[in-house]
């Protein structure tokens, strides 16, 4: 085995690979993607050497694949390669070089020769275990709606204490938004260019947010009826728009029938074990003696999803709304606090009911355990949101840290999960992004351009496209401004342009993602989408208040000129470089 002293310039402790998870995963029946991590700047080249795990003649069909350095975090370089296997049985080694020294790396460490180095094994690529996600997600542009605040389409179902539309949003007030309102505005959404609606909960509940569910089988009368939901889905589907609903299965509301029975009957209730209660009597105030959502939210008792009756009830809810209303998937609230066994069964039920249904978890931190292909399709990408806020809105990090955060996010997950990420910049749980930008529209618009050009599914929070503002909950939950004089027409036009470019440039939807150019002093950042396609696209951003002259290598495009699709202006390529002047906070989309 190699000793550290034999290769003084390589940090052997930083070399890492494991033959599962985000480091080794099938892309299909005969293709295996592998990743290797190394200390930043240590390795000049890496090659993957592979063969069948049971070769007839060892070495006869040895494959050698150069690995691409796809990016760097603040500490590590990440290398990738795709191995093709006829037999689906793969063993492989890594050959590492710093330009002067070389070594082999396998599952037991380092060696001077391949024959002395035990390989990594991916025993068999089984079809049943492939991580399959819906094909339509590559084209998905998501629009999140908080139904109570989007549009009032049927005043007859307004609550008694409804307030005038446009009033100050508070934690407990109502403005009359409903399902009919969403249905009446579908043409607006179609014209905007979105094709997926994600609605926060619509089931019976005493709150305006509906996250404390009273009845999982009943549409809240303030929002309408079952037929109103069916009509919304029917009309949305006719326009090519899918509808995702919110599953709140971590907890229910305190008015939920099972919890009310527990309050009335204590341990004699057949539903006592549906919850996590310390002892009887059940105490709600001043502090609940049972587990809840977050900390002591007595109106939201936590459900015991490991209980077979709770599991059966909630799985039937998941199936019922797909079959009854033809919805297209579920977003899972507080999903990281629900047991994995439940989510594995949930996936089986949902995919059986509608194979193309989408399952998106709410996880604000590293989501790898839930994204192995047996639970969610993907998650709400809060890592992306936080990086976007720090770089564009607050400008607390520079371009190098921003890129490092994106590389860390991309390489922490399997490709399938990255395709389905809900790439948000704000939501009903955060301050609106324009407010986070201190209402500096130039920063906001630059962030929107990048969001619409980045891999995954861009998620637009209702009203962002017309310049709505608001600090965190409840101020981020204001009523939609439907009067044109109250809308920011420039921002709305910008959204439509960015969405149109994503929908008309294939590389912005399905192409891979690579760094093109980075200028740390000038805070200029550029990526390429689709270097693996016939027509890649380059996205360049000047996230600074400086006017800058740039000369940028264009190795990814064999052309004499590039056209910026935002302005229609054409720029010549001279000696392999693109020369241009960029204005403060200017963005480009080159093809």
Give the pairing type, strands 561-563 and 31-39: unpaired
419 phi, psi to nearest 5 deg: -60, -30
Cβ partners under 8 Å of residue 471, min gap 6? 431, 432, 435
H or E stretch covering 509? helix 507-510
Determine which one of 80, 178, 246, 333 is catalytic.
333
The 8 Å CB, 24+ separation contacts for 56-60 are none
CA atoms within 13 A on the CB side of 339: 12
**Exactly one of 178, 228, 246, 362 is catalytic; which is it?**
362
Burial 427-452 (b: 16+ CB within 10 A, else e): bbbbbbbbbbbeebebbbbbbbbbbb
**Paired sense of beta strands 524-529 and 537-542, if any:** antiparallel
Retrieve residue 40's tokens.
């930043």
Query: Per DSSP, which regions of 259-341 are E strands?
Result: 329-332
Burial class (CB in 10 A: 0-12, 13-18, 19+), 423: buried
- Please indicate whether residue 333 is annotated as part of the active site: yes
Residue by residue, what is the 3-state secondary structure of 164-209? CCCCCCCCCCCCCCCHHHHHHCHHHHHHHCCCEEEECCCEECCCCC
Residue 198's beta-bridge partner residues? Answer: 144, 244
CA angle 212/217/222 to nearest 5° reads 65
Cα–Cα distances in Å, from 159 out to 28, 151, 201, 259?
52, 14, 17, 25
Closest CA to 284 of 267, 308, 259, 309: 259
Question: In Å, how far from its chain's centre is CA 540?
Answer: 22
User: What are the residue numbers of the active site?
Assistant: 333, 362
């Amino acid at each position: 085995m190699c000793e550290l002293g034999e290769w003084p310039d390589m940090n052997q402790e930083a070399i890492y690979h494991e033959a599962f998870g985000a480091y080794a995963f099938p892309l299909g029946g005969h293709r295996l993607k592998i990743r290797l991590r190394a200390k930043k700047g240590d390795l000049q080249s890496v090659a993957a050497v592979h063969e069948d795990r049971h070769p007839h003649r060892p070495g006869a069909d040895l494959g050698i694949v150069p690995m691409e350095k796809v990016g760097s975090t603040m500490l590590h370089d990440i290398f990738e390669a795709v191995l093709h296997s006829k037999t689906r049985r793969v063993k492989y080694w890594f050959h590492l070089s710093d330009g002067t020294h070389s070594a082999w790396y396998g599952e037991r460490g380092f060696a001077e020769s391949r024959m002395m180095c035990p390989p990594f094994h991916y025993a068999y690529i089984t079809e049943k275990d492939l991580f399959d996600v819906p094909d339509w997600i590559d084209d998905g542009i998501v629009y999140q709606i908080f139904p109570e605040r989007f549009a009032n389409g049927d005043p007859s179902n307004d609550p008694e204490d409804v307030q005038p539309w446009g009033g100050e949003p508070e934690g407990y007030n109502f403005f009359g938004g409903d399902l009919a309102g969403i249905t009446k505005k579908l043409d607006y959404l179609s014209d905007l260019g979105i094709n997926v609606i994600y609605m926060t909960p619509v089931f019976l509940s005493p709150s305006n947010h509906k996250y404390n569910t009273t009845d999982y089988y009943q549409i809240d009368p303030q929002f309408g009826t079952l037929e109103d939901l069916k009509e919304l889905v029917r009309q949305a589907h006719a326009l090519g728009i899918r509808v995702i609903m919110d599953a709140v299965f971590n907890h229910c509301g305190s008015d939920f029938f099972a919890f009310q029975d527990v309050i009335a009957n204590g341990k004699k209730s057949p539903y006592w074990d549906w919850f996590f209660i310390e002892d009887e009597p059940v105490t709600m105030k001043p502090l609940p003696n049972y587990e809840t959502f977050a900390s002591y939210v007595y109106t939201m008792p936590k459900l015991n999803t490991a209980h077979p009756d709770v599991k059966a009830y909630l799985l039937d809810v998941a199936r019922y709304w797909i079959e009854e209303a033809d919805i297209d998937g579920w977003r899972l609230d507080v999903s990281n606090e629900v047991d994995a066994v439940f989510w594995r069964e949930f996936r089986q039920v949902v995919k059986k009911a509608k194979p193309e249904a989408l399952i998106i978890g709410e996880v604000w931190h590293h989501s790898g355990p839930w994204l192995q292909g047996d639970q969610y399709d993907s998650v709400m990408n809060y890592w992306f949101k936080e990086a976007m806020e720090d770089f564009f809105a607050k400008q607390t990090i520079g371009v190098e840290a921003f890129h490092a955060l994106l590389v860390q996010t991309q390489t922490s997950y399997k490709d399938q999960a990255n395709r389905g990420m809900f790439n948000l910049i704000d939501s009903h749980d955060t301050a609106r992004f324009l407010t986070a930008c201190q209402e500096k529209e130039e920063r906001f618009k630059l962030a929107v351009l990048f969001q619409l050009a980045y891999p995954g599914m861009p998620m637009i929070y209702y009203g962002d496209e017309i310049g709505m503002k608001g600090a965190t909950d409840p101020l981020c939950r204001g009523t939609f401004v439907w009067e044109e004089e109250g809308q920011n027409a420039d921002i709305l036009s910008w959204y439509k342009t960015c969405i149109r470019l994503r929908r008309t440039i294939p590389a912005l939807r399905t192409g891979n993602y690579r760094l093109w150019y980075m200028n740390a002093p000038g805070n200029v950042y550029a990526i390429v989408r689709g270097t693996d396609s016939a027509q890649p696209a380059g996205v360049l951003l000047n996230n600074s208040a400086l006017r800058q002259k740039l000369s940028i290598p264009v190795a990814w495009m064999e052309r004499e000129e590039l056209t910026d699709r935002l302005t229609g202006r054409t720029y010549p390529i001279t000696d392999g470089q693109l020369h241009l002047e960029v204005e403060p906070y200017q963005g480009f989309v080159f093809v």
